[in-house]
A and B are shown apart, each in its own frame.
Chain A
Amino acid sequence: MQEMSVVKKSIITAVCLALCVVLPIAFHAVPNAGSIYLPMHIPVLLCGLICGWQFGLLCGLAGPALSTLFTGMPPAAILPIMMIELAVYGLVSGLMMKLIRSKSTYVDLYISLIIAMLSGRIVAGLARALIFARGNTTIATWTTSYFVTSLPGIIIQLVLIPTIVFALMQAKLIPMRYPQKRA
Chain B
Amino acid sequence: MNRLPIGIYIPGDTFIHRLDSRIKLLGLFITTAAILLVNSILGYSIMFAFILGIILLSGISMKTALNAINKLLLFFVIVLLMNTFFYSPEKPWFSFWIFTPSTLGLLYGIEIVLRLFLVLIASNILTSTTTPMETTHALESLISPFRYLGLPTGQIAMILSIAIQFIPTLSEETDAIRKTQMARGARFDSKKISEKAAAVLPMVVPIFLSAFKRADDLSVAMEARGYRGAKGRTQKKGTPLQRQDLGALGVIFFICLLQIVLRFSNLTHPWRSRF
Contact = CB atoms under 8 A, between A and B. Distances in A.
Interface of A: 5-8, 10-19, 21-23, 25-27, 29-34, 36-37, 42, 46, 58, 62, 66, 68-73, 75-78, 132-134, 136, 138-139, 142, 152, 155-156, 159-160, 163-164, 167-168, 171, 173-174
B103 interface: no
Contact of A23 (B155, B166, B207): B207
A46 B83 CA distance: 37
A167 B135 contact: no
A26 B208 CA distance: 13
A133 B87 contact: yes
A23 B203 CA distance: 10
A5 B219 contact: yes
| Most chain A beta carbons < 10 A, residue from B163, B211, B229 | B163
A132 B113 CA distance: 9
Given A11-B215, A15-B215, A76-B119, 14 more contacts: A5-B219, A14-B158, A14-B166, A18-B211, A19-B208, A22-B167, A22-B171, A26-B175, A30-B178, A58-B156, A62-B160, A72-B8, A132-B112, A173-B216
Contacts of B203: 26, 30
A152 B193 contact: yes
Interface string B194-236: 1011111101110111011111101100110001110000000
A31 B182 CA distance: 10
Interface of A is mostly: helix
Contacts of B200: 27, 30, 33, 37, 156, 160
A135 to B, nearest CB: 11
A156 B197 contact: yes
B159 A13 contact: yes
A163 B159 contact: no
Contact of B170 (A19, A68, A75, A159): A19
A136 B215 contact: no
A58 B158 CA distance: 12
Contact of B218 (A11, A19, A58, A68): A11
Contact of B127 (A46, A72, A156, A174): A72
Given A19-B170, A66-B164, A132-B82, A75 B6 contact: yes
A64 B148 CA distance: 26
A69 B82 contact: no
A12 B208 CA distance: 10
A144 B217 CA distance: 43
A136 B87 contact: yes
B55 to A, nearest CB: 16
Nearest to B181: A30
A31 B167 CA distance: 23
B250 interface: no
A76 B67 CA distance: 13
24 contacts: A5-B223, A7-B222, A7-B229, A10-B219, A17-B166, A18-B166, A19-B170, A21-B167, A21-B171, A22-B174, A26-B175, A32-B189, A42-B204, A46-B208, A58-B156, A62-B160, A69-B135, A70-B167, A77-B72, A133-B82, A138-B86, A152-B193, A156-B197, A173-B209
